[in-house]
């Protein structure tokens, strides 16, 4: 737990230094290249699901083995450094806050900024669309990029952390229900759902604490409106904290998806000020998480 606390603090201070990752590939980039190679090698015809299961199993084995090798190094330095690299609090809030700053300049700047953190089409977004996308990314990635890595580092050490990041990266690349990846990415997507089940609900709890414990009546129903079994929890908590409606219709690759709103009774015209409030809540939730860790270190 001490290593986790130090890793979280180091990430909050240093973030992802551009001078380093412009010179050497980030571990997630390396994992992405491996996943891309596995996709090309094993995603073949009628054996796509079997190939995807083999790829997912291989990723798990490689991640755990590497984690065990790093954990065998003397001291806790490896755990602190790897933990700081794979936690993403500073990077997340920086990118989300940048959307609010850009949106204050112009709608076009806001669209360009939010396009860096979401995969949906941004060209026709209105100001509320941009703000909503940024807030959703803040909530979902607080779970995926901060709470879940911290949880699996605490539970499983470096093997647990690397296993989680490998599967989460795979899910982001091949876990989508597209013609190419619906079968091949099935195993990675299902395992990612399992690994994120507890962290997603912990994230919702931390967001609620950070927002002053807003009324949770209907939060479970709101979370279940979301297309994801996990992302709906932090998004529902953030939606209620800001009194806005999140999710809703959006477009991917020119195809409009009529997704339901999370917290549909909330305001549907968020702007830069709501993004700023979301960033403040993220830092408070992060601090609340550190406070939870401290007793485990002391006692």
pLDDT in tens, the chain (299 residues): 899 999 999 999 999 988 888 899 999 999 999 999 999 999 988 889 999 999 999 999 999 999 999 999 998 999 999 999 999 999 999 999 999 999 999 999 999 999 999 988 999 899 999 999 999 999 999 999 999 999 999 999 999 999 999 999 999 999 988 888 999 999 999 999 999 999 999 999 999 999 998 777 788 999 998 888 999 999 999 999 999 999 988 888 788 888 899 999 999 999 999 999 999 999 999 999 999 988 777 66
Tokens linked to 182: 């619906």
| Dihedral sign, Cα of residue 96, residue 219, residue 283, residue 295 | negative
Which residue, 166, 142, 172, is CA-closest to 82?
166
- For residue 220, what are the contacts with CB-CB under 8 A and spacing of at least 6? none
Looking at residue 299, its pLDDT comes to 65
Distances (CA, A) of 87 to 27, 62, 113, 114, 209: 12, 20, 22, 21, 21
Q: Tell me the CB-side half-sphere exposure of residue 142, using CA atoms within 13 A.
A: 35
- Number of other CB atoms surrounding residue 33 within 10 Å: 11
Looking at residue 254, its pLDDT comes to 80
Which residue, 237, 258, 239, 240, is CA-closest to 249?
258
CA distance 280 to 219: 21
């Amino acid at each position: 737990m001490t290593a986790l606390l130090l890793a979280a603090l180091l990430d909050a201070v240093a973030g992802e230094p551009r001078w380093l990752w412009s010179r050497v590939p980030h571990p997630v980039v390396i994992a992405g290249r491996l996943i891309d190679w596995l996709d090309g090698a094993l995603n073949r015809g009628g054996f796509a699901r079997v190939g995807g299961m083999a790829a997912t199993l291989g990723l798990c084995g490689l991640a755990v083995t590497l984690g065990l090798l790093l954990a065998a190094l003397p001291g806790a330095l490896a755990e602190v450094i790897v933990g700081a690299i794979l936690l993403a609090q500073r990077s997340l809030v920086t990118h989300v806050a940048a959307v609010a700053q850009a949106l204050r300049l112009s709608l076009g700047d806001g669209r360009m900024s939010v396009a860096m953190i979401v995969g949906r089409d941004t060209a026709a977004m209105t100001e509320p669309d941009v703000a909503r996308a940024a807030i959703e990314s803040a909530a979902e990635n607080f779970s995926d990029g901060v709470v879940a890595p911290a949880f699996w580092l605490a539970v499983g050490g470096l093997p647990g952390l690397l296993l989680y990041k490998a599967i989460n990266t795979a899910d982001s690349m091949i876990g989508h229900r597209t013609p190419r990846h619906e079968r091949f990415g099935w195993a990675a997507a299902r395992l990612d759902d399992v690994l994120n089940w507890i962290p997603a609900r912990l994230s919702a709890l931390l967001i609620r604490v950070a927002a002053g414990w807003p009324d949770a009546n209907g939060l479970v129903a709101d979370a279940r409106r979301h297309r994801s079994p996990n992302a709906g929890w932090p998004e529902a908590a953030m939606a209620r904290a800001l009194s806005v409606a999140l999710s809703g219709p959006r477009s991917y690759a020119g195809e409009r998806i009529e997704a339901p709103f999370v917290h549909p009774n909330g305001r549907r015209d968020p702007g830069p000020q709501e993004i700023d409030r979301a960033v403040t809540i993220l830092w408070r939730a992060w601090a609340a998480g550190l406070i939870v860790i401290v007793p485990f270190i002391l006692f």
